[in-house]
Amino acid sequence: MNSMLTNSQQKTICSQLGRVKLRLLYKASIHGFTGAAFHQRCDNRCPTLSVGYNASGYVFGGYTKQPFSQSGQYVQDGQAFLFTFSGEKLIKYPVTEPAYAVRMVANSGPYFGEALVLVNGSQAVVHNNPGNYYNFNAAEMHGNDLNLAECEVYEVEETTELESPWRTITWESEKKKELMETVKTYKPTVSSVPQVRVLLIGPVGAGKSSFFNSINSVFRGHVTSQAIAGSSTTSLTTQFRTYSVKAGRGGKPLPIIFCDTMGLEENTGAGLDIDDIISILKGHLPDSYQFNPSAPLHPETSGYRKSPGLKDEIHCVAYVTDACKVSIMPTKLELKLEAIRRKVNSMGIPQLVLLTKVDEACSFVSQDIRNIYKSGYIEEMMQEVSARLGVPMSCVVPVKNYSKELELDLNCDILLLTAVIQMLRAADSYFDELSDRKSNIETKE
């Protein structure tokens, strides 16, 4: 049987479910648009993904972790959701009443709450009733075309993980102490630069502010939240902020400063402006500058540095990317990132990618963060983000930020500190390059 879901659509769906693959169980055009055919092929199988296709080109359906049966009862599932594709982008509609997530009806196909039924009453039609345990817009989901051209049900299977890690890392408290000491004792090779300045760039909600908070937490010895972070559709960071990490409470500032920016948004005139990024890279932007997406910074702005020194400039750029959203990155956002990357490249500034929320992206990593480099799925995500953002795999560093935790975790700390070490090494390369360039000019003179 051939799947009607494209490879891209399958990859997008799987990115929401962890390290999994889809196996086609039921295809209505082959097995029949009947409840009996559906139940014969799909009962007692789980988790499953049910997909409907109509002649208007809509691809939509639902996911449940519960096995199908013909009991006539509702079954609880807090992780069930309905979905539709808008182009390559996945739109999810989570269950609102988990106790009524799925209903087991003998003469119908997949039956989600009372909101959506595929192959309703053994007919090639959809039952549609938004608001009954799932909230969705019918026009958005299926264009109000309730005739089914096809219905498929897939079993969601976990895939085998790698036996040995593809990157070596030591998960010990001594290693954490060593990494912390390396950061504390680091000195930039250029005497005029007291601290390396790292610019964090990324979409809204990717975890830029949370990354700074997490690094700060490691050196404070407990979870902190100095920078505003959280869940929002628009950027919670509206100012240009520079954050210096201290070596413990009342300790000396560490030799690294994180520069936090407004989140990138796909729409023009929203989120961080590329012209503002250029001003930041060159060191013109004052701390606490209030971003205005419709009017980028200009030389007459209060606090504008007209003649910044190397210590004011950016020495490393880190793109912060949510591992759960790599496969569904909007095209406009990808184009914005590409334009920024080209500008950063032209200035010779080194670039890294911080891949955040790795535990949410992969259930294998969620079980134990030390599985990070044994996860084939995370490796694929890193390869994909490497290709999309045009940086080598060696410059992609996975991390797990502190968000809901109250206490520190040794393994998370080691990943976070490893990311900081990579930033300092990248800055060293930048300073060496500047020094070599300066020597060549002096030699020619």
Beta strand pairing call for 396-398 and 351-356: parallel
Q: Return per-residue pLDDT of the chain as tens, 445 residues.
A: 789 998 889 988 988 887 788 999 999 999 999 999 999 999 999 999 999 999 999 999 999 999 999 999 999 999 999 999 998 889 999 999 999 999 999 999 999 999 999 999 999 999 999 999 999 999 999 999 999 999 999 999 877 566 678 899 999 999 999 999 999 999 999 999 999 999 999 887 888 989 999 999 999 999 987 655 444 444 444 677 888 888 888 889 999 999 887 777 666 555 566 777 888 899 887 766 665 555 566 677 766 788 889 999 999 999 999 988 887 777 888 888 888 899 999 999 999 999 999 988 887 888 899 999 988 888 888 998 999 888 999 999 999 999 888 899 999 999 999 999 999 999 999 999 888 777 666 555 5
Give a yes or no: residue 239 inside a domain: yes
**79 lies in which domain range?**
7-158
Cα separation, 301 vs 283, in Å, equals 14
The number of angstroms, rounded, from the C-alpha of 376 to the middle of its chain's C-alpha atoms is 17
Give a yes or no: residue 313 inside a domain: yes
Cα separation, 240 vs 291, in Å, equals 7
Same domain, 154 and 193: no
How confident is the model at residue 292, as a pLDDT? 59
The pair phi, psi for residue 309, each rounded to 5°, is -95, 175
Same domain, 213 and 323: yes
Same domain, 153 and 199: no
Give a yes or no: residue 271 inside a domain: yes
**Number of domain units in the chain:** 2
Cα separation, 341 vs 361, in Å, equals 25
- DSSP-assigned states of every residue in 29-71: HHH-SSHHHHHHHHBT--SEEEEEE-TT--EEEEEESSPB-SS
Same domain, 129 and 180: no
Nearest to 318, CA basis, from 363, 360, 259:
259
Cα separation, 406 vs 412, in Å, equals 13
Give a yes or no: residue 2 inside a domain: no
Same domain, 134 and 232: no
Residue finishing a domain among 123, 158, 193: 158
How confident is the model at residue 281, as a pLDDT? 92
Residue finishing a domain among 124, 158, 192: 158
Give a yes or no: residue 250 inside a domain: yes
Same domain, 341 and 209: yes
Nearest to 358, CA basis, from 397, 316, 393:
397
CATH number at residue 184: 3.40.50.300
Same domain, 111 and 229: no
Residue finishing a domain among 133, 158, 183: 158
How confident is the model at residue 231, as a pLDDT? 44
Give a yes or no: residue 163 inside a domain: no
Give a yes or no: residue 113 inside a domain: yes
Strand partners, 318: 200, 352
Same domain, 393 and 257: yes
Give a yes or no: residue 168 inside a domain: no
Same domain, 240 and 182: yes
Burial class (CB in 10 A: 0-12, 13-18, 19+), 357: buried
Same domain, 223 and 307: yes
Q: Using alpha carbons only, what angle is made at residue 342 by residues 336 and 345, rounded to the nearest 5 degrees?
A: 140
Helix axes 274-281, 331-346, angle to 10 degrees: 30
Report the sign of the C-alpha dihedral through residues 82, 85, 88, 91, in that order.
negative
Answer whether 56's CB lies under 8 Å from 154's CB: no
Same domain, 138 and 180: no
Same domain, 209 and 144: no
Element (H, E) at 198: strand 196-201
